[in-house]
């Protein structure tokens, strides 16, 4: 829904969101007095003998960066408006975002039913309602395969200012496509315009949103059994296999992360393979047996066909996917994945993304 539609929905359903007898909320759309910033709406609240004013921001975009920007602007304005209660409206606020609002002293309505409204002795809290407005996945969003090349380039050097043609040439994409994707990134508050160039403005927020949309299970898995005492020996065999340059592969998940900075115990070695011919090459060279259950060497035919090998790195004689790809894959991996991802972030990614 657009911000206008969200406000209309809120006005028409406020009685369902806060079924409190005697509560009156009269919404207003403020006229712009301060051209620099104005709230999306104001409202007059009456309950028993209490009367106060709400100043509200509507968050229609799902990006973390836009959410933070809205909170910051609202909090700043509320500090100058004596007696006004700041409030955020969204289709749905996750538990993390509701917690963030409370930490910042900001109330919230979400159109799925979650509410926090506080003023003086009035306290209304209703939480636990699921998302009634799940965002439809768009095939050509900024986290799709080809578009993610733009993010990968930007996140590899967060201080760099990119020209559109320069960026397109760097990642091998059409300049028109890059221009359209950067417009979407700008809408989500991920990039800033500097004349005709762009620069990432919220790298960590961008990565947080990417992780929420990403799922390594979209890769196609093919499992094999390799005669070896453990994953370390499998990797040694890969390193000794004299792999030609036209066999495109890279280790991922725990195997790749542990080559960079050993942290967690793991049993399976995951290898991204460009295509089935690459898998067949390894199968013949390493005398692998195809296995359903009990596989200790698992090849991944990538969902990110164009971008998964971007930034791959040579470590101890084998290719490993980029730190960014390792983080994406591990973050939601069920067996100690989040621990390994957070360790990798602290050791390798934090100083790049946060300075």
User: Reduced to 3 states, what is the DSSP secondary structure of residue 226?
Assistant: coil
Burial of 150 (0-12, 13-18, 19+ CB in 10 A): buried
Alpha carbon 287 to chain centroid, angstroms: 39
CA distance 119 to 83: 9
What are the sequence ranges of the domains in the chain? Answer: 3-126, 145-213, 216-353
**Where would I find the beta strands (DSSP E) of 102-243?**
107-110, 115-119, 122-126, 191-194, 197-200, 220-225
Predicted confidence at residue 78, as pLDDT, reads 80
Does the structural domain 145-213 have CATH classification 1.10.10.10?
A: yes
Rg (CA), the chain: 25
Predicted confidence at residue 291, as pLDDT, reads 86
Sign of CA dihedral 25, 29, 33, 39: positive
Predicted confidence at residue 284, as pLDDT, reads 95
User: Reduced to 3 states, what is the DSSP secondary structure of residue 269?
Assistant: strand
Q: Identify whether the C-beta of residue 205 lies closer than 8 Å to the C-beta of residue 271.
A: no
- Give the model confidence (pLDDT) of 266-281 as tens digits: 999 999 999 999 999 9
Indicate whether this model's pTM tops 0.85. Answer: no
Predicted confidence at residue 243, as pLDDT, reads 95
Does the structural domain 216-353 have CATH classification 2.60.40?
A: no
> Which class does domain 3-126 fall in?
alpha beta
Which residue stretches of the chain have pLDDT < 70? Answer: 30-37, 135-140
Predicted confidence at residue 188, as pLDDT, reads 87
Report residue 239 as tokens: 């390193």
Predicted confidence at residue 333, as pLDDT, reads 92
User: Reduced to 3 states, what is the DSSP secondary structure of residue 196?
Assistant: coil
Alpha carbon separation from 312 to 12, 140, 251, 301 (Å, rounded): 53, 24, 9, 16
């Amino acid at each position: 829904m657009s911000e206008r539609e969200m406000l209309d929905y809120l006005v028409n359903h406020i009685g369902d969101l806060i079924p409190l007898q005697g509560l009156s909320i009269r919404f207003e759309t403020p006229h712009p007095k301060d051209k620099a910033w104005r709230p999306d709406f104001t409202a007059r609240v009456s309950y028993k003998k209490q009367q106060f004013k709400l100043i509200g921001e509507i968050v229609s975009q799902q990006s973390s960066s836009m959410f933070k920007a809205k909170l910051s602007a609202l909090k700043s304005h509320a500090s100058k408006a004596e007696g006004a209660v700041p409030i955020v409206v969204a289709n749905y606020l996750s538990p993390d975002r509701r917690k963030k609002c409370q930490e910042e002293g900001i109330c919230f309505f979400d159109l799925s039913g979650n509410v926090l409204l506080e003023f003086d002795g009035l306290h209304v809290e209703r939480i636990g309602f699921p998302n009634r407005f799940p965002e439809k996945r768009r095939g050509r969003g900024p986290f799709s395969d080809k578009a993610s090349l733009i993010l990968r380039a930007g996140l590899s050097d967060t201080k760099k200012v990119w020209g559109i043609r320069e960026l397109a040439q760097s990642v091998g994409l059409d300049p028109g496509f890059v221009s359209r994707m950067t417009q979407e990134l700008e809408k989500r508050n991920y990039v800033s315009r500097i004349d005709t160039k762009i620069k990432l403005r919220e790298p960590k927020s961008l990565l947080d949103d990417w992780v929420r949309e990403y799922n390594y299970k979209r890769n196609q898995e093919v499992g094999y059994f390799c005669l070896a005492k453990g994953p370390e020996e499998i990797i040694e065999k890969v390193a000794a296999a004299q792999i030609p340059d036209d066999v495109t592969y890279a280790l991922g998940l725990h195997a790749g992360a542990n080559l960079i900075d050993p942290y967690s115990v793991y049993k399976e070695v995951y290898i991204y393979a460009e295509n089935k011919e690459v898998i067949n090459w390894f199968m013949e060279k390493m005398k692998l047996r195809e296995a359903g259950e009990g596989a200790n060497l698992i090849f991944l035919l990538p969902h990110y066909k164009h971008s998964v090998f971007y930034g791959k790195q040579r470590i101890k004689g084998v290719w490993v996917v980029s730190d960014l790809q390792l983080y994406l894959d591990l973050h939601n991996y069920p067996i100690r994945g989040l621990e390994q991802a957070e360790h990798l972030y602290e050791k390798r990614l934090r100083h790049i993304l946060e300075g």
